[in-house]
Chain A
């Protein structure tokens, strides 16, 4: 009894420290922003120490967003892992969930600090716009602050009560975990209101007065961005957690540690890829909403100046798929019996590479005059054919299918199905994959013969075929492997260091990709604060050259990882203390 109340006290104390931190930060933000606004001469725009106000906001907002993505994404799979631990009664899952959560506490602080800096910057550098937006959305601001406190309390308590709420009380801890995610999701949805309103304003009249707050909130891009970010957060969180595991693996001194972090890296990368696969579909939805809201914005995103950046996106996604397959194949080395599947690797590699190339091929682009005459039109005569969206859809669907297949082979690595229908089952599985691939290819080719408005609909069939094939495959796989004969246990920890670099590569690429997509999302507003409504009239309201933009994305990525390494360092340091 006395022991438990002692822990309750510690848990409450830890939680209160979180609340205190946030309170102090908010107070400081208020004072600094107020002080600067009063001290600096009144203006519609201010520069950031002589530098571009646009770039200053960009860097800080992106860093804040990355940390936010991390702290919102990690609890989602932490609590799932915790549930798995309860369901399987395997303690290692509970330990892993705790390990994931440990990364959070420190990351929360950094997220909040960055958020406060961002707030000061928008108030000081864009006073007029910020004034307008906060007047429009005042109720949501207040809600946001309430949600932040709620999130901090619940998340800190979730962490500090981990050992306290075990055994019979575990269900309360799980409930807390679910609550953390509900609040986190609400936070994300509220923050997305402001962002999406600036892209696709609704609920205001011609003079900019609010006519319906609800319409402004549920503007056309709000839900697609919510879903897109939710998925991306999980993928991102998984990738960063895997990178953490990779560092710990490389620094491990004992076999036991190596095994533990090898496994953690595997789970993290699995989560990253699993959440990543539906992401292009959410992206299509978002793209469609953007087109529907403003054809012009849609075209400048996909066919205008920003189109060139999608080539980079394709390169990153291709790289991610290649790296994850590479990691899986290296991982098969620790699975006795996986040698049986090595023969698939070369063909899969070829397929992925072809898909990668097709996806990275530029399509219709609003090029400058000289470029256009060099290419002989806005469509390249030959590349145009492969560059159009239909080919890209086909390629990405096949790449997803291939990666899925790699995962399934990996899963089966050390097992031999024993059920009587094993052969039939495997044939059906092969047929399912082949059918999906055929459907994808068929519509891919057929779409060259139909106008674009019909073609758009085809991507639904392609996606549908891939998703259906994946679900049927898994639905067969689970009973198929029930009671399967194990060739040997997975030798966790026996994986080459190269594989850890594949994990780093994935984390870096995810981060860079997020930075790039964030830039495109925000950048397609061009010289508008609020698209089509409020113009950015500051000196830096221009779209910079892609080369400069990508350098800034790289700088953001490097700063992010430097900050993350502080989080990692704190996390592993805390453990050293606990081990004593």
Chain B
């Protein structure tokens, strides 16, 4: 009886917790879709890929905003392309944007802390082609003309999959070692049995 009462209490408590879990916003977060960028990719397509990269794989919206609402940890990205040419004397907008993505530590926009992660490294983990796609997007977003061009050197030589996941031998690592380990454990069991037998002998004698 007590058991059922406690069980009912358990169900009630966890149901309340799960119920509250239903009250918070519900959404699924899917991994980024891989898009192939080539030298032939058009500017509009490039910008579209860039937008997706900014929103998903890059995780940029954690700090930046591209609409009126959003985060203000970093500057508003709608103005990035427009202000780019003025940020550093003698540096073109495109070069500045490239630098601010690849080496954000070189120049820090006044009024902001230096916290932006370099885009070529994890977690964004872009390749150069993707960085350029993002620039194309930023330029469209700022109403500027898309000036970036994808060059062959930008496109990663290795296939994407290999770049992120280390080459792995598929055979089970347990095969030989498993058996050897099993023998050691068996021997250990035998030793313990022997100890037991001796203790048992002493008990009877």
Contact = CB atoms under 8 A, between A and B. Distances in A.
Interface of A: 2, 5-6, 8-9, 12-13, 16, 19-20, 23, 26-27, 30, 33-34, 37, 42, 123, 127-129, 131-132, 134-135, 138, 142, 145, 149, 204, 207-209, 247, 250-251, 294-297, 299-300, 303-305, 308-309, 311-312, 315-316, 364, 366-369, 371-373, 376-378, 453, 501, 504-505, 508-509, 512, 526-527, 531-537, 541-547, 549-551, 553-554, 557-558, 561, 565
Interface string B4-22: 0011011101110110111
B62 A546 contact: no
Contacts of A544: 28
A361 to B, nearest CB: 13
Contact of A504 (B9, B122, B175): B9
A186 to B, nearest CB: 19
A547 B22 contact: yes
Contact of B165 (A208, A372, A376): A208
B9 A501 contact: yes
B127 interface: no
B182 A135 contact: no
A290 to B, nearest CB: 12
B14 A5 contact: no
Interface of B: 2-3, 6-7, 9-11, 13-15, 17-18, 20-22, 24-32, 59, 61-63, 67, 69-73, 113, 115, 117, 121-125, 161, 164-175, 177-178, 181-182, 185-186, 188-189, 192-193, 195-196, 199-200, 202-203
A300 B117 CA distance: 14
B122 A533 contact: yes
Contacts of B189: 19-20, 23
A296 B203 CA distance: 65
B17 A312 contact: yes
Contacts of A308: 24-25
Given A295-B115, A312-B17, A501-B9, A377 B69 contact: yes
Nearest to B58: A296
Contacts of B24: 308-309, 311-312, 546-547
B10 A504 contact: yes
Contacts of B181: 142, 145
Contacts of B195: 12
A190 to B, nearest CB: 16
Contacts of B13: 505, 508-509, 512
A128 B170 contact: yes
Contacts of A23: 185-186, 188-189
Of A19, A26, A295, A369, most buried by chain B (CB within 10 Å of CB) is: A295
Binding site secondary structure of chain A: helix
A550 B165 contact: no
Contacts of A299: 59, 62-63, 73
Nearest to A27: B182
Given A311-B24, A376-B69, 5 more contacts: A27-B182, A250-B6, A296-B123, A535-B165, A542-B29
Given A296-B62, A453-B113, A37 B172 contact: yes
B17 A207 contact: no
B6 A294 contact: no
Contacts, number: 218
A308 B173 CA distance: 40
B158 to A, nearest CB: 9
Contact of B62 (A37, A300, A537): A300
**Across chains A and B, which 5 residue pairs bring their CB atoms closest together, nearest first?**
A208-B166, A532-B122, A550-B21, A527-B31, A554-B14
| Residue among B17, B26, B67, B73 having the largest count of chain A Cβ atoms under 10 Å | B17
Contact of A554 (B9, B18, B71): B18
Contacts of B2: 247, 250-251
Contacts of A377: 69
Contact of B21 (A294, A533, A547): A547
Contacts of A504: 6, 9-10
Nearest to B193: A16
A512 B14 contact: yes
A545 B27 CA distance: 5
Given A294-B123, A526-B31, A535 B6 contact: no
Contacts of A13: 196
30 contacts: A2-B203, A16-B196, A19-B192, A23-B189, A34-B178, A132-B166, A134-B173, A138-B177, A149-B185, A208-B165, A247-B2, A295-B63, A299-B73, A303-B62, A312-B17, A315-B20, A367-B25, A512-B14, A512-B17, A533-B164, A542-B31, A543-B30, A545-B28, A546-B21, A547-B18, A547-B21, A547-B24, A550-B20, A553-B14, A565-B3
